[in-house]
Amino acid sequence: MEFAEHPCFSAKARHTTGRIHLPVAPKCNIQCNFCNRKYDCVNESRPGVTSNILSPEQAGIYLGSVLERVSNLAVVGIAGPGDPFANPEETMRTLELVSEKYPEKILCLATNGLGLPEYVERIAKMNVSHVTITMNAVDPEIGAKIYSWVRYGAHIYHGVEAARLLLERQTLAIGLLKEHHITVKINTVIIPGVNDEHAVEVAKYAAALGADIQNCIPLMHVEGTAFEGKKTPDAHAMQELRQKTGVYVKQMAHCARCRADAVGLVGDDNSPEIEQMLAAASKLKPTTERPYVAVASMEGLFVNRHLGEATGLWIYGEEDGKLKLIDRRPTPPPGAGDERWYDLAKTIPDCCAVLVSGSGKAPEKVLAEFGIRIIAMEGLIAEGASAILEGREIPRTLLRTAGSCGVGISCGGTGTGCA
């Protein structure tokens, strides 16, 4: 399988073959100076934007419902709104669910490549056939002008050091992808005065690594970014550029700069019906197996305990249409690392969510593996728990605001995480 059936790789297929992007990857490990990620946004059509974020399980349900209504979807992809490999657990779980249930679908990913190398073998085994890597520079001096920071492992890198690390990882990733016979597309955002004259070097470099196609994308004007004042290259400039880069690698010229939740033919906006389906899929709902909500509270009236400090959880359910306290359960003692959160998951297997005033990343990650979502909020238990149990959204005024890293909203911070 190469280009013929994938609408993002084939100008011919774009008119007949649809794709669906599953928005399961909100976090990003890079801050690009042209990017402003937005969640819960229906007004912009560009990468980094989605109306809702889905869990892998929600994505599976959503995909099934969309396939019942849209018959020409041959491609299932993950394209953010962050980076798939800044969210590896969610990405891999989603791919597993899709590949098991829909083995006939083309699976693809769009990534900056930083976190990709360790996962190439696994995605190849799941028949991921197409991967797009955004490569904007192969000269670290130029890359330093494009990236505000790069987060790799526990470290934050800036400037030339950050750009050099990213290029090293992208180079490794492309080589590994080609070893596994995966089709590789290079996305290059063309930024006037920064890398527009450098794009030919990117084409040469990518072609030498075995990349199959390059997509030169004109910079978009995005408010709230470091490059918001830069001009967008016009069509004539882009045509001339593609002629130069096309000497070295096949060029794509029909990119519609799709949203992270795009459905249907390339270039078409999501229909109101699709938006409604996505919103419905994203709602947290109790199930027969998980009919309850756990709460970290001091007195059983307010959500006012950090999960790490809670010695017990209050368990609420619904009876005759009213909120009812079902049980109180002790939390595992601290000091066991992630094992504490695995033990907690075993303590509340009948809960679909945990309401807390705050929590760390470790419990969120572990509990998510068991289908239990942690929600940080402030206010009455009755307001939060009842909303979940009734299938409603918790009022936004009660949800805790994300810190400087922007998790759940947008990202324009330093890359050091939320305060």
**pLDDT, tens digit (0-9, with 9 covering 90-100), for 175-200:** 999 999 999 999 999 999 999 999 99
Query: What is the C-alpha separation between 300 and 298, in angstroms, rounded?
Result: 6
What mean pLDDT comes out for the span 92-116? 94
Q: Can you identify the CATH homologous superfamily of domain 13-282?
A: Aldolase class I (3.20.20.70)
Helical (H) or strand (E) element with 155:
strand 155-157
Domain ranges of the chain: 13-282, 292-389
> Which one-letter amino acid corresponds to residue 89?
E
Nearest to 196 by CA among 159, 227, 162: 227
| Percent of the chain clearing pLDDT 90 (strictly above) | 55
pLDDT at 76 over 60: yes
Q: Are 261 and 222 in contact (CB under 8 A)?
A: no
Q: Are 305 and 296 in contact (CB under 8 A)?
A: yes
pLDDT for 221: 75
Instruction: Please name the residue that has the structure tokens 């709230």.
Output: 224
pLDDT for 405: 36
User: Checking DSSP bridges between strand 183-190 and strand 373-376, what pairing results, if any?
Assistant: unpaired
Reported confidence tier of residue 371, pLDDT bands at 50, 70, 90: confident
Reported confidence tier of residue 393, pLDDT bands at 50, 70, 90: confident
pLDDT at 87 over 70: yes
Helices (H), 230-360: 235-245, 272-282, 338-347
> Which one-letter amino acid corresponds to residue 15?
H
Between 4-18, 142-156, 175-189, the lowest mean confidence (pLDDT) is in 4-18
pLDDT for 401: 45
**Per residue in 295-304, pLDDT tens?**
999 999 999 9
What mean pLDDT comes out for the span 6-15? 65
Reported confidence tier of residue 124, pLDDT bands at 50, 70, 90: very high
pLDDT for 325: 96
244 CB-near residues (< 8 Å, 6+ apart)? 199, 200, 203
- Mean pLDDT for all residues in the chain: 86
CATH class as words, domain 292-389: alpha beta
Cα-Cα-Cα-Cα torsion 376, 364, 361, 55, nearest 10 degrees, comes to -90
pLDDT at 414 over 50: no
pLDDT at 416 over 50: no
Reported confidence tier of residue 330, pLDDT bands at 50, 70, 90: very high
